[in-house]
């Protein structure tokens, strides 16, 4: 992996660090490919329970790679592999936590929006600056953001490219916590470790159930939720969870 660093700082937790600091972690095709490939590998690795993606303390990812984009005409952009890479990231079934410090612009913002949970440093700044280049966000920016914060703010941000502070992001549910930038990664890893200790099948069911909210109606969603609920009743971890609670001890989940 050329553009990302991968390690496992806590049991069950994998940390992916975007590592192209000289380009402010701009998400060129190769970086995106690295992320997608890595997540695909982690998908089938049973030891991996949660994943954190981060940049560095100054910058998450400052956008796409404009040099690459500039070379694409209308024909080649139709055959572009990027939508497939984004899809792979979107389809990752384990908890994906984004630890965002500094700039998360354009594709960087869109990558953050692929996270199940987002933590930011207080220096975080989001923006959709594509409009300034005569484009629109092309990796779900208009869609995911509007579903999170509504039409008003998304229209405004996408049409102006205005900066969104960490405080504003928290206020509107783009993130769930602001940390001092020097601690964002630590706190994201601790959160991931907490999730990694939970019953993996239940975690997966929660993610699937939640990710369906924008795909289906409420009554369909409730049915899906119920199905997950029933299905989990057949798992050993559920039995263990309930037993441990009744016996006043800590549960030991095994993903079964």
Q: What residues line the site for another protein (CB under 8 A)? A: 179-180, 182-183
Q: How far is CA 249 from CA 3, 86, 168, 203, 243, in A?
A: 43, 41, 40, 20, 9
> Would you call 11 helix, strand, or coil by DSSP?
coil
CA distance 191 to 28: 29
Q: Report residue 202 as tokens.
A: 């239940």
CB 244 within 8 A of CB 199: no
In terms of CB distance, is 83 or 182 closer to another protein? 182
In terms of CB distance, is 173 or 180 closer to another protein? 180
> Would you call 123 helix, strand, or coil by DSSP?
coil
The torsion angles phi and psi of 99, rounded to 5 degrees, stand at: -110, 105
Helix (H) or strand (E) holding 18: strand 13-18
In terms of CB distance, is 38 or 99 closer to another protein? 99
Least Å from the CB of residue 180 to another protein = 5
Least Å from the CB of residue 197 to another protein = 22
In terms of CB distance, is 54 or 198 closer to another protein? 54
Least Å from the CB of residue 237 to another protein = 32
Least Å from the CB of residue 5 to another protein = 21
Least Å from the CB of residue 71 to another protein = 36
Question: CB within 8 A of 16, min separation 6: which ones?
Answer: 4, 5, 6, 35, 38, 51, 52, 53, 54
In terms of CB distance, is 187 or 232 closer to another protein? 187
In terms of CB distance, is 121 or 200 closer to another protein? 121
Question: CB within 8 A of 117, min separation 6: which ones?
Answer: 95, 96, 97, 98, 176, 191
- Of all residues in the chain, what percent are helix, strand and coil, respectively (each to 5)? 50, 15, 30
Least Å from the CB of residue 186 to another protein = 8
């Amino acid at each position: 992996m050329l553009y990302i660093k991968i390690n496992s700082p806590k049991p069950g937790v994998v940390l992916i660090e975007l590592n192209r600091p000289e380009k402010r972690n701009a998400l060129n095709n190769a970086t995106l490919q690295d992320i997608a490939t890595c997540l695909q590998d982690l998908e089938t690795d049973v030891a991996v329970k949660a994943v954190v993606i981060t940049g560095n303390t100054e910058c998450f990812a400052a956008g796409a790679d404009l040099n690459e984009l500039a070379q694409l005409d209308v024909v080649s952009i139709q055959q572009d592999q990027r939508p497939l890479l984004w899809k792979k990231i979107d389809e990752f079934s384990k908890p994906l936590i984004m630890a965002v410090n500094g700039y998360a612009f354009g594709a960087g913002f869109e990558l953050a929006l692929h996270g199940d949970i987002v933590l930011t440093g207080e220096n975080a700044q989001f923006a959709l600056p594509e409009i300034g280049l005569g484009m629109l966000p092309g990796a779900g920016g208009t869609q995911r953001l509007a579903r999170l914060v509504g039409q008003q703010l998304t229209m405004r941000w996408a049409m102006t490219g205005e900066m969104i502070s960490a405080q504003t992001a928290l206020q509107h549910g783009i993130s769930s916590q602001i940390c001092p930038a020097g601690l964002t990664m630590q706190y994201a890893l601790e959160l991931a470790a907490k999730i990694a200790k939970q019953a993996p099948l239940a975690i997966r069911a929660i993610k699937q159930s939640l990710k369906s909210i924008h795909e289906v109606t409420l009554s369909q969603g409730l049915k899906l939720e119920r199905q997950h609920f029933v299905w989990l009743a057949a798992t050993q971890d559920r039995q263990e969870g309930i037993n441990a609670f009744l016996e006043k001890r800590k549960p030991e989940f095994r993903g079964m």
